[in-house]
Amino acid sequence: MFTLHVVCMGNLCRSPMAAALFRARLPADRCRVVSAGLAVPAGRPVAPLTVATLHANGLPVPEASPRQFDPVTVGNDDLVLAMQHRHVRALRALAPHARPRIQLLGRWMPQREIDDPMGGGMEDFARAFAHIAACVEQWCARDARLSTRM
């Protein structure tokens, strides 16, 4: 079993949504999905509009508080997916041992980067969620370890 790390900046919006989508698709005995942030604000819960967006799409809300990305937790077979190019650069600097396995979540999309909806309204969160969902579909279709056909 490998771990799929989904990372954004604060672990408040995008990575919790992506993790929820991957968890809904992948068997827990085949892939462990975790979300983290590069600069997690202390004591802040997941954004309320993230919670509302997940509920609106029938997905569970993360039980854990937002957490900081820890490069030590990235194993030799793990995959790390980030929301923006700057996240990929930061992650590769933090975890050089995982450099080839750190990718953009939107790698195969026309719009590769996923904008942060923080500070926006419900429509911004819905737009980010739809973009993330399309990216998750692409990863599950293209990476055999994430395929639902196993």
- Catalytic residue set: 8, 14, 116
Q: In whole angstroms, what separates CA 89 from the centre of its chain?
A: 16
Residues 72, 49: Cα–Cα separation, whole Å:
31
**Residue 74 and residue 138: Cα distance in Å, rounded?**
22
The residue ranges of DSSP E strands in 9-136, in sequence order, are 31-37, 79-82, 102-104
Structural contact between residues 99 and 82, judged by C-beta atoms closer than 8 angstroms: no
